[in-house]
Amino acid sequence: MKSLMWSALEYEQKERGTDWFWALGVIIVASSIASLIYGNYFFAILLILGGLSFWMFAIRKPEMIHYELNDKGLQIENQLYPFERIKSFFVRTDTSPALFIKSERVFMPMLSMPLNGVSPMEVRQVMLSKNIPEEEMQEHFSERVIESLGI
């Protein structure tokens, strides 16, 4: 089997203006002050830390991730997902081609990766040739909510 290799950005970067950052700051400060007024200090700290995390994530540039389907399995950067440990897969071909895999991992068992520069049908054929069941999948609801909020 020839290996299929492709690269894609870690996530789609959204352009955020200064208004977005001001709105984030106002919401976090107002919520934290309200929390302090009601004596909920732990929640105020949690809001501030969450707001700082959002801010840091918003200014961070996405990294280029390298993928490879080879004889051993699916390699994402330095992490190998052997075919034996992949429970099922789905190749989305409609709007933006993507590969979804469901693995045996306890934490983040479902992964999705864009298929840029590689044929989705080739990826599908490789996965089927390794006797991995095909099961329709899509992004988790929380991912769609976060994307619609522009976060």
d(CA 49, CA 65): 28
d(CA 7, CA 116): 7
d(CA 71, CA 119): 18
Domain spanning 4-9+64-149: CATH 3.10.620: no
d(CA 151, CA 67): 25
Whether the per-residue pLDDT at 2 is higher than 80: the answer is no
**For 96-148, what is each residue's pLDDT tens digit?**
888 999 887 777 788 888 888 888 898 898 888 888 999 888 777 766 676 66
Domain map (residue ranges) of the chain: 4-9+64-149, 18-59
Contact 19, 129 (CB under 8 A): no
Contact 96, 142 (CB under 8 A): no
pLDDT at 48: 96
d(CA 64, CA 61): 10
Whether the per-residue pLDDT at 9 is higher than 90: the answer is no
Residue identified by tokens 């959002």 is: 54
**For 13-49, what is each residue's pLDDT tens digit?**
778 889 989 999 999 999 999 999 999 999 999 999 9
pLDDT at 147: 66
